[in-house]
Structures are given as C-alpha cells and as structure tokens.
Amino acid sequence: MEHLSHFFLNFVDQFGYAGLFVVMVLANLGIPVGAELVMPAAGALVATGHLSSLWLAAGIATVGELVGGSALYALGYYGGRPFVARYGKYLKLDAGKLDRFDAFYERYGNVIVLICRFVPFVRGIAGLPAGVSRMPKRWFLLYTAIGSAVFCVGLAYLGSLFARHIDTIMLQIHTYVRVAVAVVLVAIVAAIALQLFRPRPVS
C-alpha cells in the first residue's frame, strides 16, 4: 500500500489540480490511495509553489471526494445487497460488516456518515453501505461534504504549515492511521461482545 500511496503522490505532483481531483475520486471508490497522505502533500505543494492556492486545492479535493462517494453510494443504492454479495469482497465489505453498519445507522442516524469521514480506510467505502441502507441522498451529500471539507482543509493546511518537515508529518500520519484502525477494530469487537453477552430480558 505504501508504494501505491507514493505513486498517487507523484501523480498529484505531476498533474496538479487535475491529478488531485482524480486521486480523491479514486480514494472514495474504495481504492487504497491514502488520502490522509495525499492532502498534506497537496498542502506542501501549495507552500512550495507547485500549486497556487490552498483553498482551491482543498475545494477540488472535496469535490473529488463527493463525486467518488456519490458514485459508490449510487452503486449501493441501486445494486443493494446483491451487489455487495457479488463485488463487496473487492472493497473488503461483506454481509456481516454491512449488518454492523446498518446497526450503527439505526442507532446513530445520518450523522454516522459524518463520523466515517474521519476513520481511515472506512471513509473510502462509506458510500456503499450508506446507499445499500437507503440513507436519504440529501443527508448523505450534506454530511459527506461537511466531513470531506474539514478533512481536506485541515490536512492541506497542516501540510502547508510544515512543508519543510513534510516527511516527519507523513510519518506521524502513518502512526495515526495505524492507531485509528486499531481503535476502530477494538470498538467493533467490543460492540459485538456486548451484543453477544448482553442479558436477554426474561419473557
């Protein structure tokens, strides 16, 4: 995955805003682009003059996320569970994970999409289960736009602020990703354990 991330970083460096847009679309179609590494790099490119504007870079990246996420949402919305059963393995999504998303959706509502925008790996496939669950389109688009804007602006600004130390920043983000994934896995295991061992009401 690390080599793949470097490829996409070079792609953005070579093709500028168009490359950034394409990369962020792909990142939200389940392809392991490493958006949490691409955005700080885009900010560093702004600071070094390779890109002209931080806000333009963040805006284009946000639109790219919306386009990719909406495409995956549409596949889930119109393809439903049969689509996940047939193609979900390519996105590491199966019926069990879909059921857990449905449970979280039922419990926390539409805001779960906003939360997913800040969870590494999950953010790249969140549109598919949201579509399968028939989440209202307006709420999906609204929460995806808000979460993506915060994500893109925040990481791009961080990259521009510490452009001279971008390698150190990338290392820290790699650590953050590992920790975040571990936390998510522990949370899922804990939620399953609570469901399994919760005392059932006596009828």
Exposure pattern of 175-196 as b/e (b: 16+ CB <10 Å)? eeeeebeeeeeeeeeeeeeeee
Q: What is the pLDDT of residue 2?
A: 53
Q: How would residue 181 be classed by pLDDT, with cut points 50, 70 and 90?
A: very low
- For 149-176, the pLDDT digits (tens) are 999 999 888 888 876 555 555 555 555 5
Q: What is the pLDDT of residue 5?
A: 62
User: Does the pLDDT at position 99 exceed 70?
Assistant: yes
Q: What is the pLDDT of residue 203?
A: 46
Q: State phi, psi for 48 to the nearest 5 degrees.
A: -95, 5
Q: What is the pLDDT of residue 148?
A: 93
Q: How far is CA 35 from the centre of its chain?
A: 7
What residue ranges do the domains of the chain occupy? 2-197
Contact 80, 195 (CB under 8 A): no
CA distance 188 to 40: 29
